[in-house]
Amino acid sequence: MLSFLESIEKEVKRRAYETMSYCLQSYQGQVEETSEEFDHGLHSFYHVNDEYVSHCQGEPREASEAIYGDLRPIESHIDAAADDLLHEISRGIARIQRKIEELS
């Protein structure tokens, strides 16, 4: 009887870990998609900004160039944070997969 209960408990834990893994994989996909959308938006902005700035002079040009300059370090920071987050999610998925294998 104990072995039957242990096997049920093992199965419940395995399924819980599978659910956790699935949630992390879904989250990983959402982070990747959001990062791609952010990059696409920035590249669109840079393209439009480059066309606009080439026709501007004086204060509007300086303001546009200042915004452009401010975005580069922000972009780098966000990209690095996304990479770190994706790395940690991957590590979490790997840990959970190992636990699933131990229970199988």
DSSP string, 27-59: HHHHHHHHHHHHHHHHHHHHHHHHHHHTT--HH
pLDDT of residue 79: 95
Query: Cα 68–73–74 angle (5° rounding)?
Result: 85
pLDDT in tens, 53-88: 778 788 877 888 888 888 889 999 999 999 999 999
Contacts of the segment 69-77: beta carbons below 8 A, 24+ positions apart:
71/42, 71/45, 71/46, 75/42
pLDDT in tens, 14-39: 999 999 999 999 999 999 999 999 99
**Whole-angstrom Cα distance, residue 22 to residue 15?**
10
**Whole-angstrom Cα distance, residue 60 to residue 68?**
12
The parent domain of residue 17 ranges over 2-103
pLDDT tier for residue 1 given thresholds of 50, 70 and 90:
low
Handedness of CA 7, 9, 14, 19 (dihedral sign): positive
Range among 4-13, 57-66, 94-103 rated most confident? 94-103
Number of folded domains in the chain?
1
Average pLDDT over residues 85-95: 98
pLDDT of residue 98: 97
Token pair in block for residue 93: 């998925």
pLDDT of residue 2: 64
